[in-house]
């Protein structure tokens, strides 16, 4: 194997149907955020027996950590066409208008559904929903809960719903090692539960295991966001798309040595401004929408200001907000107070962090992948809603809308197949090297932050691919437990991101190349698809040109 050309086996290990315990279910759902739980509820309501598995608990999903809200057209001042226009503009030519319209049109229905489950969203004195505005939106249309704890509220009611449902069984603390594919159809998965292997025979599998922020040194994501779903589906042979597009949130709390914490976009929507260490407000000089410009614009502007000033961060100033920001944003106020920051008086030190993986498993509007029986939804999927950059608060909306459709289709299209044993992985003639996984993980995070982060170029991306290939080659011979498997998944997704970023020789949305700083609609307005080739290498396909959209 050439180290500069990463190759990946079709599985992380073998499966022996004669000795491995097997459980049967109609639909297996992997992931417990809004997309996975919505799919599980819909499949169970359609009569399927559902097994939902997640490697952590309900409080450790990206949904639970989400401070932003649900974008939906809920007032006469707003319209479907306006929400579509905002989404397509931020997506910079790569959002699919038909998918966008389908998802956005179901926004009000999705909010009503969450309310019917008991979600307590913020309301005005007259009882109507309080709507906020976030970056890229032209009007107030974002539903929140407790100001800055929308995801936690949604996770709460969804958790109660699956606990009550008689047709849903949950297994938390369970890691999916491999998907099982027989005769071209996904028929189940191999899990690791308490260190032991367990096979699931399923009529359909829904992958909703979230994003991959943990492959970066700076991230807003929980510790489990390792890109497991994208890596598993890639090994299984599914098409992936748009892996070069990773959204960085502009404002994460920066305290040296402390975990990063998201400072929600709703804070800037309420009037907070960004300043450098000299107190200068700089975003008004960068974009007409200033602090409410699309996230990629704000993130790169912050990075440029950090380079110019030699500082490690900039500052978010809430002192000009009407009312007491500590009451408006209690979660943020509480976290900042732990570092002796009074958000009503003190500017908050912030810097960008990896926030959302726009790319993922290529699916249609009901989660179907290119492998029969395998569905994907949420951050693990690429529906082409977000294009080259995600409009704030469209992801929870997508998770609810596509999740419910995916669950129904998985239940309808399930097909039980007896499991057969799989072949063992590749063998090696030399002993496995002794590896320090924590050191390799930190090195990967730093490499991705430097070379596959906010600003990229050919030399850095090529270096990243070569080092990732070398690490994966060594790790493939030495890892037979969950930490090693997670790191292999992260290396796989990192290689896919770097490969796609090398292929896109332009700058568009979240993807910025300093060696190709301009957008190239003539040569690059297309999606980049990837799949695992027969020899384990990454096969790349450039999709057809995306025609200019006259929507709405």
Distance CA 314, CA 147 (A): 23
Q: What is the pLDDT of residues 472-487, one digit of tens each?
A: 988 887 767 889 999 9
Q: What is the pLDDT of residues 126-165, one digit of tens each?
A: 999 999 998 889 999 999 999 889 999 999 999 999 999 9
Residue 1 predicted with pLDDT over 50: no
**How would residue 421 be classed by pLDDT, with cut points 50, 70 and 90?**
confident
Q: Which residues contact 210 (CB under 8 A, 6 or more apart)?
A: 31, 33, 61, 62, 221, 224, 225, 229, 378, 379, 380
| 3-state class (DSSP) for residue 127 | coil
pTM over the 0.75 mark: yes
Distance CA 286, CA 301 (A): 7
Q: DSSP secondary-structure letter at 283?
A: G
Cα of first residue to Cα of last residue in the chain, in angstroms, is 49
Spatial contact of 189 and 204, defined as CB atoms under 8 Å apart: no
- The secondary structure of 50-87 as a DSSP string is EEEEESS-GGGSHHHH--S-EE---STT--HHHHHHHH
Give the H or E element holding residue 311: none
Question: According to the model, what pLDDT value does residue 300 have?
Answer: 94
Give the H or E element holding residue 206: strand 196-207
CA distances from 22 to 19, 185, 309 (A): 9, 18, 59
Residue 427 predicted with pLDDT over 60: no
Distance CA 287, CA 289 (A): 5
Q: What is the pLDDT of residues 340-372, one digit of tens each?
A: 999 999 999 999 999 999 999 999 999 999 999
| Catalytic site includes residue 18 | no
Instruction: Supply φ then ψ for residue 401, to 5 degrees.
Output: -70, -55
> Closest Cα to residue 150, out of 213, 47, 232, 71?
71
Q: DSSP secondary-structure letter at 291?
A: G
Q: DSSP secondary-structure letter at 412?
A: H
Question: According to the model, what pLDDT value does residue 338 have?
Answer: 95
Residue of 49, 133, 141, 295 with catalytic role? 295
* 461, β-bridge pairs: none
């Amino acid at each position: 194997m050439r180290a500069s050309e990463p190759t990946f086996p079709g599985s992380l290990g073998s499966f022996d149907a004669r000795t491995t315990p097997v459980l049967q279910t109609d639909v297996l759902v992997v992931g417990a955020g809004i997309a996975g739980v919505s799919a599980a509820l819909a499949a169970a309501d359609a009569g399927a027996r559902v097994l939902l598995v997640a490697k952590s608990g309900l409080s450790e999903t990206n949904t639970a950590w989400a401070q932003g809200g649900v974008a939906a057209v809920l007032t006469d001042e707003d319209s479907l066409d306006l929400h579509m226009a905002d989404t397509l503009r931020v997506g910079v030519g790569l959002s699919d208008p038909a998918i966008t319209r389908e998802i956005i049109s179901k926004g009000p229905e999705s909010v009503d559904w969450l309310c019917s489950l008991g979600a307590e969203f913020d309301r005005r004195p007259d009882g109507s929903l309080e709507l906020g505005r976030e970056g890229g939106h032209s009007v107030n249309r974002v539903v929140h809960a407790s100001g800055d704890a929308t995801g936690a509220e949604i996770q709460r009611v969804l958790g109660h719903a699956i606990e009550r449902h008689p047709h849903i069984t949950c297994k938390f603390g369970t890691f999916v090692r491999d998907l099982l594919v027989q005769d071209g159809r996904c028929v189940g998965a191999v899990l690791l539960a308490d260190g032991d292997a367990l096979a699931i025979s399923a009529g359909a599998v829904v992958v909703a295991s979230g994003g991959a922020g943990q492959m970066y040194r700076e991230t807003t994501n929980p510790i489990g966001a390792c890109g497991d779903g994208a890596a598993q589906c890639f090994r299984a042979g599914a098409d992936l798309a748009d892996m070069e597009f990773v959204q960085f949130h502009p404002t994460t709390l920066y305290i040296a040595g402390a975990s990063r914490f998201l400072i929600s976009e709703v804070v800037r929507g309420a009037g907070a401004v960004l300043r450098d260490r000299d107190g200068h407000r700089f975003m008004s000089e960068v974009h007409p929408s200033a602090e409410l410009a699309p996230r990629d614009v704000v993130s790169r502007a912050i990075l440029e200001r950090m380079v110019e000033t030699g500082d490690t961060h900039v500052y978010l100033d809430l002192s000009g907000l009407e009312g007491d920001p500590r009451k408006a944003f209690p979660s943020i106020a509480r976290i900042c107070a732990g570092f002796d920051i009074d958000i009503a008086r003190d500017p908050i030190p912030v810097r960008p962090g990896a926030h959302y993986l726009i790319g993922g498993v290529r699916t249609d509007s009901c989660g179907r992948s290119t492998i029969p029986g395998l569905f994907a939804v949420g951050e693990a999927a690429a529906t082409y809603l977000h294009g080259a950059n995600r409009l704030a608060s469209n992801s929870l909306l997508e998770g609810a809308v596509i999740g419910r459709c995916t669950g129904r289709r998985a239940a309808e299209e399930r097909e039980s197949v007896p499991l057969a044993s799989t072949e063992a992985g590749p063998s090696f003639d030399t002993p496995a090297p002794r590896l320090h996984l924590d050191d390799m993980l930190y090195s990967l995070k730093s490499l991705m932050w430097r070379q596959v982060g906010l600003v990229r170029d050919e030399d850095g991306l090529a270096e990243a691919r070569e080092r990732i290939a070398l690490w994966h080659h060594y790790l493939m011979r030495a890892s037979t437990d969950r930490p090693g498997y997670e790191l292999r998944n992260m290396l796989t997704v990192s290689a896919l991101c770097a490969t796609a970023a090398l292929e896109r020789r332009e700058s568009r949305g979240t993807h910025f190349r300093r060696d190709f700083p301009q957008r190239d609609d003539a040569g690059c307005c297309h999606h980049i698809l990837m799949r695992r080739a027969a020899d384990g290498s990454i096969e790349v396909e450039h999709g057809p040109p995306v025609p200019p959209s006259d929507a709405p």
